Chain A
Amino acid sequence: MLRDGATLPETEVGRSVVPVADANGSRRIVPHVRVEQLDAFFGAVHAVRGASVELHDRSVTAIIGPSGCGKSTFLRCLNRMHETVPGARVSGRVLVEGTDVYNGKVSAVAVRRRVGMVFQRPTPFPTMSIRDNVAAGLRVMHDVHRSRRAVDEVVERALRRAALWDEVRDRLHSSATSLSGGQQQRLCIARALATEPAVLLLDEPTASLDPISSQRIEELVYELRSQMTIVIVTHNMQQAARVSDDTAFFLMGELVEFAPTSQMFTAPLDERSEAYITGRFG
Protein backbone atom coordinates (compact mmCIF):
# COMPACT_ATOMS: atom_id res chain seq x y z
CA MET A 1 0.00 0.00 0.00
CA LEU A 2 2.68 2.49 1.02
CA ARG A 3 5.50 2.64 -1.41
CA ASP A 4 8.54 2.85 0.85
CA GLY A 5 7.11 2.11 4.24
CA ALA A 6 6.97 5.29 6.28
CA THR A 7 8.06 7.72 3.61
CA LEU A 8 7.30 11.29 4.44
CA PRO A 9 5.67 13.46 1.83
CA GLU A 10 8.72 15.71 1.74
CA THR A 11 10.90 12.82 0.69
CA GLU A 12 8.40 11.92 -1.98
CA VAL A 13 8.37 15.34 -3.50
CA GLY A 14 12.07 15.79 -2.84
CA ARG A 15 12.71 12.78 -5.00
CA SER A 16 11.06 14.56 -7.89
CA VAL A 17 13.25 17.60 -7.34
CA VAL A 18 10.66 20.26 -6.73
CA PRO A 19 11.59 23.10 -4.44
CA VAL A 20 9.28 22.72 -1.48
CA ALA A 21 8.46 25.15 1.24
CA ASP A 22 9.90 24.25 4.60
CA ALA A 23 8.05 24.69 7.85
CA ASN A 24 8.50 28.45 7.72
CA GLY A 25 7.18 28.69 4.19
CA SER A 26 10.18 30.83 3.38
CA ARG A 27 10.82 29.41 -0.06
CA ARG A 28 9.52 30.85 -3.27
CA ILE A 29 6.91 28.16 -3.83
CA VAL A 30 4.31 27.79 -1.11
CA PRO A 31 2.35 24.56 -0.65
CA HIS A 32 -1.32 25.29 -0.79
CA VAL A 33 -2.78 21.84 -1.01
CA ARG A 34 -0.89 19.11 0.73
CA VAL A 35 -1.84 15.47 0.34
CA GLU A 36 -0.43 12.92 2.76
CA GLN A 37 -0.66 9.18 2.22
CA LEU A 38 -4.00 9.34 0.49
CA ASP A 39 -5.75 6.06 -0.19
CA ALA A 40 -9.11 5.90 -1.92
CA PHE A 41 -11.34 2.89 -2.43
CA PHE A 42 -14.49 1.96 -4.32
CA GLY A 43 -15.69 -1.01 -2.32
CA ALA A 44 -12.84 -3.49 -2.73
CA VAL A 45 -11.13 -1.53 -5.53
CA HIS A 46 -8.07 0.37 -4.36
CA ALA A 47 -8.26 3.35 -6.72
CA VAL A 48 -5.59 5.64 -5.24
CA ARG A 49 -2.63 4.06 -3.43
CA GLY A 50 -0.77 6.10 -0.87
CA ALA A 51 -0.42 9.33 -2.81
CA SER A 52 1.54 12.17 -1.21
CA VAL A 53 2.14 15.47 -2.92
CA GLU A 54 2.22 19.22 -2.40
CA LEU A 55 0.44 21.46 -4.86
CA HIS A 56 1.74 24.99 -5.06
CA ASP A 57 -0.23 28.15 -4.59
CA ARG A 58 -1.13 30.09 -7.73
CA SER A 59 0.03 27.39 -10.05
CA VAL A 60 -1.53 24.85 -12.35
CA THR A 61 -0.95 21.17 -11.69
CA ALA A 62 -1.84 18.75 -14.45
CA ILE A 63 -2.68 15.16 -13.59
CA ILE A 64 -2.02 12.70 -16.39
CA GLY A 65 -2.16 8.96 -16.75
CA PRO A 66 -4.00 6.23 -18.63
CA SER A 67 -7.73 5.61 -18.16
CA GLY A 68 -8.58 4.04 -14.83
CA CYS A 69 -5.30 5.08 -13.22
CA GLY A 70 -7.07 6.90 -10.40
CA LYS A 71 -6.43 10.46 -11.49
CA SER A 72 -10.08 11.53 -11.38
CA THR A 73 -10.54 9.75 -8.06
CA PHE A 74 -7.51 11.58 -6.70
CA LEU A 75 -9.03 14.87 -7.84
CA ARG A 76 -12.39 14.02 -6.27
CA CYS A 77 -10.68 13.31 -2.96
CA LEU A 78 -9.46 16.90 -2.81
CA ASN A 79 -12.98 18.32 -2.39
CA ARG A 80 -14.51 15.25 -0.78
CA MET A 81 -16.64 14.42 -3.81
CA HIS A 82 -15.26 10.88 -3.79
CA GLU A 83 -17.31 10.00 -0.72
CA THR A 84 -20.60 10.84 -2.48
CA VAL A 85 -20.32 7.57 -4.41
CA PRO A 86 -21.84 4.59 -2.56
CA GLY A 87 -19.17 2.27 -1.20
CA ALA A 88 -16.40 4.86 -1.51
CA ARG A 89 -13.80 5.25 1.27
CA VAL A 90 -10.84 7.51 1.83
CA SER A 91 -7.92 7.45 4.26
CA GLY A 92 -5.03 9.84 4.63
CA ARG A 93 -4.89 13.60 4.92
CA VAL A 94 -5.65 16.41 2.50
CA LEU A 95 -4.66 19.81 3.82
CA VAL A 96 -6.15 22.80 2.06
CA GLU A 97 -4.73 26.07 3.36
CA GLY A 98 -3.48 24.14 6.36
CA THR A 99 -6.77 22.48 7.33
CA ASP A 100 -7.26 18.75 6.93
CA VAL A 101 -10.48 18.38 4.95
CA TYR A 102 -10.91 14.87 6.37
CA ASN A 103 -10.74 16.13 9.93
CA GLY A 104 -13.98 14.96 11.51
CA LYS A 105 -14.98 18.51 12.45
CA VAL A 106 -14.80 19.86 8.92
CA SER A 107 -17.99 19.52 6.89
CA ALA A 108 -17.83 18.38 3.28
CA VAL A 109 -20.10 21.27 2.35
CA ALA A 110 -17.61 23.80 3.75
CA VAL A 111 -14.73 22.11 1.92
CA ARG A 112 -16.55 22.24 -1.41
CA ARG A 113 -17.14 25.95 -1.03
CA ARG A 114 -13.39 26.49 -0.77
CA VAL A 115 -12.51 23.97 -3.44
CA GLY A 116 -14.52 24.48 -6.64
CA MET A 117 -14.94 21.84 -9.29
CA VAL A 118 -15.76 21.65 -12.99
CA PHE A 119 -16.60 18.36 -14.64
CA GLN A 120 -15.93 16.64 -17.91
CA ARG A 121 -19.36 17.37 -19.33
CA PRO A 122 -20.84 20.83 -18.87
CA THR A 123 -23.43 20.67 -16.09
CA PRO A 124 -25.46 23.88 -16.17
CA PHE A 125 -28.66 23.61 -14.13
CA PRO A 126 -31.28 23.34 -16.90
CA THR A 127 -34.06 24.96 -14.88
CA MET A 128 -32.06 28.10 -14.14
CA SER A 129 -31.17 31.13 -16.23
CA ILE A 130 -27.57 31.97 -17.06
CA ARG A 131 -27.49 34.50 -14.23
CA ASP A 132 -29.04 32.13 -11.70
CA ASN A 133 -26.59 29.41 -12.67
CA VAL A 134 -23.64 31.65 -11.86
CA ALA A 135 -25.32 32.77 -8.63
CA ALA A 136 -26.26 29.23 -7.63
CA GLY A 137 -23.29 28.77 -5.32
CA LEU A 138 -23.86 32.14 -3.64
CA ARG A 139 -27.36 31.21 -2.65
CA VAL A 140 -26.16 28.54 -0.25
CA MET A 141 -23.57 30.77 1.42
CA HIS A 142 -25.27 32.26 4.41
CA ASP A 143 -22.31 34.21 5.74
CA VAL A 144 -23.44 37.46 4.16
CA HIS A 145 -26.73 38.60 2.81
CA ARG A 146 -26.35 39.92 -0.70
CA SER A 147 -28.71 42.34 -2.34
CA ARG A 148 -29.90 41.67 -5.85
CA ARG A 149 -27.50 44.27 -7.10
CA ALA A 150 -24.56 42.74 -5.24
CA VAL A 151 -25.39 39.36 -6.72
CA ASP A 152 -25.51 40.93 -10.19
CA GLU A 153 -22.04 42.35 -9.61
CA VAL A 154 -20.67 39.00 -8.50
CA VAL A 155 -22.26 37.35 -11.53
CA GLU A 156 -20.73 39.89 -13.90
CA ARG A 157 -17.30 39.54 -12.35
CA ALA A 158 -17.43 35.75 -12.48
CA LEU A 159 -18.60 35.78 -16.10
CA ARG A 160 -15.84 38.22 -17.03
CA ARG A 161 -13.22 36.06 -15.34
CA ALA A 162 -14.58 33.06 -17.24
CA ALA A 163 -14.36 35.06 -20.50
CA LEU A 164 -18.06 34.61 -21.13
CA TRP A 165 -19.49 38.01 -20.24
CA ASP A 166 -19.41 39.55 -23.71
CA GLU A 167 -21.24 36.58 -25.20
CA VAL A 168 -24.08 36.44 -22.67
CA ARG A 169 -24.46 39.97 -21.30
CA ASP A 170 -27.61 40.51 -23.36
CA ARG A 171 -29.30 37.27 -22.40
CA LEU A 172 -28.51 36.70 -18.75
CA HIS A 173 -32.10 35.67 -18.13
CA SER A 174 -32.42 33.08 -20.86
CA SER A 175 -31.97 29.39 -20.22
CA ALA A 176 -28.44 28.16 -19.60
CA THR A 177 -29.08 25.22 -21.89
CA SER A 178 -29.42 27.60 -24.85
CA LEU A 179 -25.63 28.07 -24.79
CA SER A 180 -23.19 26.02 -26.86
CA GLY A 181 -21.16 23.26 -25.21
CA GLY A 182 -18.06 25.42 -24.89
CA GLN A 183 -20.07 28.32 -23.49
CA GLN A 184 -21.79 25.97 -21.05
CA GLN A 185 -18.40 24.79 -19.80
CA ARG A 186 -17.22 28.37 -19.30
CA LEU A 187 -20.52 29.03 -17.52
CA CYS A 188 -19.69 26.17 -15.16
CA ILE A 189 -16.27 27.70 -14.56
CA ALA A 190 -17.93 31.06 -13.85
CA ARG A 191 -20.31 29.30 -11.45
CA ALA A 192 -17.35 27.76 -9.64
CA LEU A 193 -15.49 31.10 -9.57
CA ALA A 194 -18.44 33.08 -8.20
CA THR A 195 -17.91 31.75 -4.69
CA GLU A 196 -14.23 32.73 -4.80
CA PRO A 197 -12.71 29.30 -4.19
CA ALA A 198 -9.09 28.97 -3.13
CA VAL A 199 -8.63 25.89 -5.29
CA LEU A 200 -10.24 25.01 -8.62
CA LEU A 201 -10.43 21.39 -9.73
CA LEU A 202 -11.00 20.67 -13.41
CA ASP A 203 -11.83 17.08 -14.34
CA GLU A 204 -11.06 16.76 -18.05
CA PRO A 205 -12.82 20.06 -18.72
CA THR A 206 -12.25 19.97 -22.48
CA ALA A 207 -12.91 16.28 -23.13
CA SER A 208 -16.36 16.93 -24.60
CA LEU A 209 -15.50 20.14 -26.45
CA ASP A 210 -14.35 21.03 -29.95
CA PRO A 211 -10.76 22.28 -30.48
CA ILE A 212 -11.63 25.99 -30.50
CA SER A 213 -13.72 25.77 -27.32
CA SER A 214 -10.93 23.71 -25.75
CA GLN A 215 -8.43 26.38 -26.59
CA ARG A 216 -10.56 29.03 -24.92
CA ILE A 217 -10.73 26.94 -21.75
CA GLU A 218 -6.97 26.49 -21.82
CA GLU A 219 -6.42 30.22 -22.18
CA LEU A 220 -8.77 30.72 -19.28
CA VAL A 221 -6.86 28.27 -17.09
CA TYR A 222 -3.67 30.09 -17.98
CA GLU A 223 -5.15 33.43 -16.92
CA LEU A 224 -6.73 32.13 -13.72
CA ARG A 225 -3.58 30.58 -12.34
CA SER A 226 -2.33 33.91 -11.03
CA GLN A 227 -5.38 33.95 -8.75
CA MET A 228 -5.72 30.45 -7.33
CA THR A 229 -4.44 26.91 -7.22
CA ILE A 230 -5.69 24.92 -10.18
CA VAL A 231 -5.61 21.16 -10.60
CA ILE A 232 -6.55 19.83 -14.02
CA VAL A 233 -7.01 16.19 -14.96
CA THR A 234 -6.42 15.64 -18.65
CA HIS A 235 -6.02 12.87 -21.17
CA ASN A 236 -4.35 15.26 -23.54
CA MET A 237 -0.63 15.47 -22.88
CA GLN A 238 -0.16 18.48 -25.14
CA GLN A 239 -2.74 20.22 -23.03
CA ALA A 240 -0.91 19.28 -19.85
CA ALA A 241 2.31 20.59 -21.34
CA ARG A 242 0.65 23.84 -22.45
CA VAL A 243 -1.26 24.86 -19.35
CA SER A 244 0.50 23.44 -16.32
CA ASP A 245 3.41 24.41 -14.12
CA ASP A 246 3.69 20.99 -12.50
CA THR A 247 2.60 17.58 -13.68
CA ALA A 248 1.66 14.50 -11.70
CA PHE A 249 1.69 11.12 -13.38
CA PHE A 250 -0.59 8.37 -12.06
CA LEU A 251 -0.40 4.71 -12.98
CA MET A 252 -2.65 1.99 -11.54
CA GLY A 253 -3.58 4.12 -8.57
CA GLU A 254 -0.03 5.07 -7.77
CA LEU A 255 1.38 8.58 -7.99
CA VAL A 256 4.49 7.66 -9.95
CA GLU A 257 6.03 11.07 -10.38
CA PHE A 258 5.41 14.70 -9.60
CA ALA A 259 7.68 17.22 -11.29
CA PRO A 260 7.73 20.61 -12.94
CA THR A 261 6.00 20.20 -16.27
CA SER A 262 9.08 21.21 -18.27
CA GLN A 263 11.08 18.51 -16.58
CA MET A 264 8.33 15.89 -16.76
CA PHE A 265 8.05 16.24 -20.50
CA THR A 266 11.76 16.44 -21.25
CA ALA A 267 13.54 14.39 -18.63
CA PRO A 268 11.18 12.39 -16.43
CA LEU A 269 12.94 10.53 -13.66
CA ASP A 270 10.77 7.43 -13.61
CA GLU A 271 10.99 5.13 -16.60
CA ARG A 272 7.23 4.50 -16.43
CA SER A 273 6.58 8.24 -16.80
CA GLU A 274 8.91 8.34 -19.74
CA ALA A 275 7.26 5.32 -21.35
CA TYR A 276 3.83 6.91 -20.99
CA ILE A 277 4.86 10.35 -22.17
CA THR A 278 6.70 9.03 -25.20
CA GLY A 279 3.60 7.05 -26.08
CA ARG A 280 4.88 3.54 -25.50
CA PHE A 281 1.66 2.64 -23.64
CA GLY A 282 -1.62 4.11 -22.47
Chain B
Amino acid sequence: MSAVGVTRRRRVTNRVMVGTTYAAAAVATIPLLAILAYLVSRGMSAISPDFFTNMPRPVGEAGGGMANAIVGTLILIGVASLLGLPIGIGAGLYLAERRGSKLTALVRFLADVLNGLPSIVMGIFAWQLLVRPVGHFSALAGAIALAAMMIPMVTRTTEEMVRLVPTALREAALALGYSRWRTSLTVVLRTALGGIVTGALIAMARIAGETAPLLFTSLGNQFWSTSLAQPIAALPLQVYTYALSPYDAWHAHAWAGALVLVGIVFVISLVARIATRRRYAAGD
Protein backbone atom coordinates (compact mmCIF):
# COMPACT_ATOMS: atom_id res chain seq x y z
CA MET B 1 0.00 0.00 0.00
CA SER B 2 1.33 3.45 -0.79
CA ALA B 3 2.19 5.99 1.89
CA VAL B 4 -0.71 8.17 0.76
CA GLY B 5 -3.11 5.24 1.11
CA VAL B 6 -1.93 4.58 4.67
CA THR B 7 -2.37 8.24 5.56
CA ARG B 8 -5.89 8.26 4.19
CA ARG B 9 -6.79 5.12 6.05
CA ARG B 10 -5.47 6.61 9.25
CA ARG B 11 -7.49 9.73 8.71
CA VAL B 12 -10.70 7.81 8.07
CA THR B 13 -10.13 5.56 11.10
CA ASN B 14 -9.49 8.61 13.21
CA ARG B 15 -12.72 10.22 12.09
CA VAL B 16 -14.75 7.10 12.71
CA MET B 17 -13.35 6.67 16.20
CA VAL B 18 -13.87 10.31 17.15
CA GLY B 19 -17.40 10.14 15.75
CA THR B 20 -18.11 7.01 17.79
CA THR B 21 -17.00 8.64 21.05
CA TYR B 22 -19.16 11.69 20.29
CA ALA B 23 -22.13 9.42 19.66
CA ALA B 24 -21.47 7.49 22.89
CA ALA B 25 -21.29 10.74 24.84
CA ALA B 26 -24.57 11.89 23.32
CA VAL B 27 -26.30 8.57 24.05
CA ALA B 28 -25.05 8.68 27.65
CA THR B 29 -26.91 11.92 28.28
CA ILE B 30 -30.17 10.73 26.67
CA PRO B 31 -31.55 8.84 29.70
CA LEU B 32 -31.10 11.85 31.98
CA LEU B 33 -32.64 14.27 29.49
CA ALA B 34 -35.52 11.89 28.77
CA ILE B 35 -36.23 11.37 32.49
CA LEU B 36 -36.10 15.09 33.16
CA ALA B 37 -38.44 15.87 30.25
CA TYR B 38 -40.87 13.17 31.30
CA LEU B 39 -40.85 14.21 34.96
CA VAL B 40 -41.45 17.83 34.06
CA SER B 41 -44.28 17.00 31.66
CA ARG B 42 -46.05 14.69 34.14
CA GLY B 43 -45.20 16.30 37.47
CA MET B 44 -45.11 20.02 36.79
CA SER B 45 -48.88 20.32 36.85
CA ALA B 46 -49.05 19.23 40.50
CA ILE B 47 -46.21 21.49 41.63
CA SER B 48 -47.31 24.69 43.29
CA PRO B 49 -46.33 26.51 46.47
CA ASP B 50 -48.93 24.33 48.20
CA PHE B 51 -47.00 21.23 47.27
CA PHE B 52 -44.08 22.38 49.43
CA THR B 53 -46.11 23.76 52.35
CA ASN B 54 -49.20 21.52 52.63
CA MET B 55 -49.65 18.09 54.10
CA PRO B 56 -50.99 15.20 52.03
CA ARG B 57 -54.79 15.23 51.77
CA PRO B 58 -57.11 12.21 51.76
CA VAL B 59 -58.23 10.79 48.44
CA GLY B 60 -60.93 12.89 46.86
CA GLU B 61 -59.81 16.18 48.35
CA ALA B 62 -58.12 18.44 45.87
CA GLY B 63 -54.70 20.00 46.49
CA GLY B 64 -52.41 19.00 49.28
CA GLY B 65 -48.68 18.55 49.16
CA MET B 66 -45.73 16.66 50.49
CA ALA B 67 -44.33 19.10 53.05
CA ASN B 68 -43.79 16.29 55.54
CA ALA B 69 -41.96 14.12 53.03
CA ILE B 70 -39.73 16.96 51.83
CA VAL B 71 -38.78 17.89 55.40
CA GLY B 72 -38.44 14.21 56.28
CA THR B 73 -36.01 13.59 53.41
CA LEU B 74 -33.94 16.62 54.40
CA ILE B 75 -33.83 15.39 58.02
CA LEU B 76 -32.82 11.90 56.91
CA ILE B 77 -30.05 13.27 54.67
CA GLY B 78 -28.87 15.57 57.45
CA VAL B 79 -28.75 12.94 60.18
CA ALA B 80 -27.23 10.32 57.87
CA SER B 81 -24.52 12.81 56.87
CA LEU B 82 -23.85 13.74 60.48
CA LEU B 83 -23.29 10.07 61.27
CA GLY B 84 -21.70 8.89 58.05
CA LEU B 85 -19.39 11.70 56.96
CA PRO B 86 -17.06 11.84 59.99
CA ILE B 87 -16.67 8.06 59.98
CA GLY B 88 -16.22 7.89 56.21
CA ILE B 89 -13.70 10.74 56.08
CA GLY B 90 -11.79 9.36 59.06
CA ALA B 91 -11.64 5.90 57.52
CA GLY B 92 -10.56 7.34 54.17
CA LEU B 93 -7.80 9.32 55.84
CA TYR B 94 -6.66 6.15 57.59
CA LEU B 95 -6.57 4.18 54.34
CA ALA B 96 -4.58 6.87 52.55
CA GLU B 97 -2.12 7.59 55.35
CA ARG B 98 -1.46 3.98 56.33
CA ARG B 99 -0.64 2.61 52.95
CA GLY B 100 0.72 -0.91 52.69
CA SER B 101 -0.47 -2.37 55.99
CA LYS B 102 -2.56 -5.55 55.97
CA LEU B 103 -5.40 -3.88 57.86
CA THR B 104 -5.54 -1.13 55.22
CA ALA B 105 -5.97 -3.66 52.43
CA LEU B 106 -8.66 -5.45 54.41
CA VAL B 107 -10.60 -2.28 55.24
CA ARG B 108 -10.39 -1.12 51.62
CA PHE B 109 -11.67 -4.47 50.39
CA LEU B 110 -14.55 -4.45 52.87
CA ALA B 111 -15.45 -0.90 51.91
CA ASP B 112 -15.64 -1.95 48.28
CA VAL B 113 -17.86 -4.90 49.14
CA LEU B 114 -20.08 -2.68 51.26
CA ASN B 115 -20.25 -0.21 48.38
CA GLY B 116 -21.60 -2.90 46.12
CA LEU B 117 -24.10 -4.23 48.66
CA PRO B 118 -27.72 -3.99 47.41
CA SER B 119 -29.46 -1.28 49.39
CA ILE B 120 -32.39 -3.57 50.23
CA VAL B 121 -29.94 -5.74 52.17
CA MET B 122 -28.87 -2.69 54.12
CA GLY B 123 -32.55 -2.06 54.88
CA ILE B 124 -33.19 -5.58 56.16
CA PHE B 125 -30.04 -5.45 58.23
CA ALA B 126 -31.02 -2.11 59.78
CA TRP B 127 -34.48 -3.48 60.51
CA GLN B 128 -33.07 -6.54 62.25
CA LEU B 129 -30.62 -4.47 64.26
CA LEU B 130 -32.45 -1.23 64.99
CA VAL B 131 -36.18 -1.72 64.49
CA ARG B 132 -36.96 -5.17 65.83
CA PRO B 133 -35.27 -4.76 69.23
CA VAL B 134 -36.97 -1.39 69.75
CA GLY B 135 -40.33 -2.61 68.54
CA HIS B 136 -41.20 0.26 66.22
CA PHE B 137 -39.98 2.00 63.10
CA SER B 138 -38.00 5.22 63.50
CA ALA B 139 -36.37 7.98 61.48
CA LEU B 140 -33.10 7.25 63.26
CA ALA B 141 -33.05 3.66 62.00
CA GLY B 142 -33.52 4.96 58.46
CA ALA B 143 -30.80 7.56 58.87
CA ILE B 144 -28.40 4.94 60.21
CA ALA B 145 -29.13 2.66 57.26
CA LEU B 146 -28.43 5.57 54.90
CA ALA B 147 -25.28 6.50 56.83
CA ALA B 148 -24.05 2.92 56.47
CA MET B 149 -24.46 3.34 52.72
CA MET B 150 -22.59 6.64 52.72
CA ILE B 151 -19.60 5.44 54.71
CA PRO B 152 -17.94 3.26 52.05
CA MET B 153 -18.58 5.84 49.32
CA VAL B 154 -17.08 8.66 51.37
CA THR B 155 -14.23 6.45 52.57
CA ARG B 156 -13.10 5.63 49.05
CA THR B 157 -13.42 9.16 47.64
CA THR B 158 -11.62 10.60 50.68
CA GLU B 159 -8.84 8.06 50.24
CA GLU B 160 -8.43 8.97 46.58
CA MET B 161 -8.38 12.68 47.31
CA VAL B 162 -5.91 12.37 50.18
CA ARG B 163 -3.62 10.25 48.05
CA LEU B 164 -3.50 13.05 45.50
CA VAL B 165 -1.85 15.33 48.07
CA PRO B 166 1.86 15.34 47.16
CA THR B 167 4.24 13.58 49.54
CA ALA B 168 6.40 16.70 49.37
CA LEU B 169 3.71 18.62 51.23
CA ARG B 170 3.58 16.01 54.01
CA GLU B 171 7.35 16.12 54.29
CA ALA B 172 7.32 19.90 54.43
CA ALA B 173 4.95 19.78 57.39
CA LEU B 174 6.91 17.04 59.15
CA ALA B 175 10.15 18.97 58.60
CA LEU B 176 8.55 21.98 60.31
CA GLY B 177 8.06 19.91 63.45
CA TYR B 178 4.46 18.84 62.83
CA SER B 179 3.54 15.52 64.37
CA ARG B 180 2.07 12.84 62.13
CA TRP B 181 -1.55 13.32 63.16
CA ARG B 182 -1.24 17.08 62.95
CA THR B 183 0.21 16.82 59.47
CA SER B 184 -2.69 14.59 58.44
CA LEU B 185 -5.39 16.78 59.93
CA THR B 186 -4.15 20.30 59.25
CA VAL B 187 -2.10 20.03 56.08
CA VAL B 188 -3.17 16.90 54.21
CA LEU B 189 -6.88 17.00 54.99
CA ARG B 190 -7.10 20.72 54.35
CA THR B 191 -5.36 20.40 51.01
CA ALA B 192 -7.68 17.59 49.94
CA LEU B 193 -10.78 19.28 51.38
CA GLY B 194 -12.26 20.44 48.08
CA GLY B 195 -12.28 16.93 46.69
CA ILE B 196 -13.55 15.46 49.94
CA VAL B 197 -16.44 17.93 50.07
CA THR B 198 -17.34 17.01 46.51
CA GLY B 199 -17.26 13.32 47.38
CA ALA B 200 -19.41 13.93 50.46
CA LEU B 201 -22.00 15.88 48.46
CA ILE B 202 -22.15 13.19 45.79
CA ALA B 203 -22.73 10.59 48.50
CA MET B 204 -25.51 12.78 49.95
CA ALA B 205 -27.10 13.04 46.51
CA ARG B 206 -26.87 9.27 46.13
CA ILE B 207 -28.67 8.48 49.39
CA ALA B 208 -31.28 11.21 48.94
CA GLY B 209 -33.19 8.99 46.53
CA GLU B 210 -32.71 5.66 48.28
CA THR B 211 -36.00 3.90 48.95
CA ALA B 212 -35.13 0.34 49.86
CA PRO B 213 -33.18 1.06 53.08
CA LEU B 214 -36.10 3.17 54.32
CA LEU B 215 -38.90 0.68 53.62
CA PHE B 216 -38.54 -1.17 56.89
CA THR B 217 -36.71 1.43 58.92
CA SER B 218 -38.25 4.88 58.75
CA LEU B 219 -41.36 3.40 57.09
CA GLY B 220 -42.96 6.65 55.97
CA ASN B 221 -45.58 8.74 57.71
CA GLN B 222 -48.77 10.40 56.50
CA PHE B 223 -48.57 12.94 59.29
CA TRP B 224 -46.19 15.69 60.26
CA SER B 225 -43.30 14.31 62.32
CA THR B 226 -39.78 15.49 62.81
CA SER B 227 -39.01 13.16 65.69
CA LEU B 228 -36.08 10.83 65.15
CA ALA B 229 -37.74 8.22 67.36
CA GLN B 230 -40.90 8.05 65.23
CA PRO B 231 -41.52 6.88 61.68
CA ILE B 232 -40.83 9.73 59.30
CA ALA B 233 -42.07 10.56 55.81
CA ALA B 234 -39.57 10.65 52.97
CA LEU B 235 -39.95 11.64 49.33
CA PRO B 236 -38.89 8.31 47.80
CA LEU B 237 -41.30 6.41 50.06
CA GLN B 238 -44.12 8.82 49.34
CA VAL B 239 -43.50 8.54 45.61
CA TYR B 240 -43.52 4.77 45.93
CA THR B 241 -46.79 4.70 47.86
CA TYR B 242 -48.54 7.22 45.62
CA ALA B 243 -47.35 5.64 42.38
CA LEU B 244 -48.79 2.27 43.46
CA SER B 245 -52.15 3.75 44.41
CA PRO B 246 -55.13 3.56 42.03
CA TYR B 247 -55.90 7.31 42.16
CA ASP B 248 -54.99 9.72 39.37
CA ALA B 249 -54.52 12.66 41.74
CA TRP B 250 -51.98 10.64 43.73
CA HIS B 251 -50.21 9.63 40.53
CA ALA B 252 -49.75 13.30 39.66
CA HIS B 253 -48.38 13.88 43.15
CA ALA B 254 -46.01 10.97 42.76
CA TRP B 255 -44.62 12.56 39.60
CA ALA B 256 -44.29 15.89 41.33
CA GLY B 257 -42.56 14.25 44.31
CA ALA B 258 -40.10 12.56 41.95
CA LEU B 259 -39.44 15.90 40.29
CA VAL B 260 -38.74 17.57 43.65
CA LEU B 261 -36.43 14.69 44.57
CA VAL B 262 -34.49 15.14 41.34
CA GLY B 263 -34.40 18.86 42.12
CA ILE B 264 -32.81 18.20 45.52
CA VAL B 265 -30.21 15.90 43.98
CA PHE B 266 -29.57 18.48 41.28
CA VAL B 267 -28.98 21.24 43.83
CA ILE B 268 -26.59 19.06 45.85
CA SER B 269 -24.66 18.16 42.70
CA LEU B 270 -24.51 21.81 41.72
CA VAL B 271 -23.09 22.75 45.11
CA ALA B 272 -20.53 19.96 44.66
CA ARG B 273 -19.55 21.44 41.32
CA ILE B 274 -19.14 24.93 42.72
CA ALA B 275 -17.11 23.61 45.66
CA THR B 276 -14.72 21.87 43.26
CA ARG B 277 -14.39 24.84 40.99
CA ARG B 278 -13.54 27.13 43.87
CA ARG B 279 -10.81 24.76 44.93
CA TYR B 280 -9.13 24.90 41.54
CA ALA B 281 -9.47 28.66 41.37
CA ALA B 282 -7.62 28.91 44.67
CA GLY B 283 -4.91 26.65 43.33
CA ASP B 284 -4.00 28.93 40.42
Residues of A near any B CB (own CB < 8 A): 79, 81, 84, 86, 109-110, 112-113, 116-117, 119, 121, 123, 125-127, 136-137, 140-141, 175, 177-178, 188, 191-192, 195
Partner of B193, one of A110, A127, A136, A188: A127
Secondary structure dominating the interface of B: helix
Q: Which of B171, B172, B187, B284 has the most CB of A within 10 A?
A: B172
B176 beta carbon closer than 8 Å to chain A: yes
Residues of B near any A CB (own CB < 8 A): 99-100, 166, 168-169, 171-179, 182, 187, 190-191, 193, 282-284
Partner of B190, one of A110, A127, A192: A127
CB neighbours (8 Å) of B187 from chain A are: 125, 127
A123 touches B193 (CB 8 A): no
B172 touches A188 (CB 8 A): yes
- Per the bound structure, the CA–CA distance linking A84 and B169 in Å amounts to 13
Q: Could you give 17 example pairs across A and B, Cβ below 8 Å?
A: A81-B171, A84-B174, A86-B99, A109-B177, A112-B177, A116-B175, A117-B175, A119-B171, A119-B175, A123-B171, A125-B190, A127-B190, A140-B176, A140-B178, A177-B283, A192-B176, A195-B177
Partner of B168, one of A119, A136, A140, A195: A119
Chain A min CB distance to B191 (Å): 6
- Per the bound structure, the CA–CA distance linking A35 and B139 in Å amounts to 65
- 6 tightest A-B CB contacts, nearest first: A123-B172, A113-B177, A117-B175, A137-B176, A112-B177, A127-B190
A140 touches B284 (CB 8 A): no
B191 touches A125 (CB 8 A): yes
Asked, given contacts A140-B177, A195-B177, whether A123 binds B168 with beta carbons under 8 Å apart, the answer is yes
B190 touches A141 (CB 8 A): no
- Per the bound structure, the CA–CA distance linking A109 and B168 in Å amounts to 17
B172 touches A119 (CB 8 A): yes
Chain B min CB distance to A271 (Å): 36
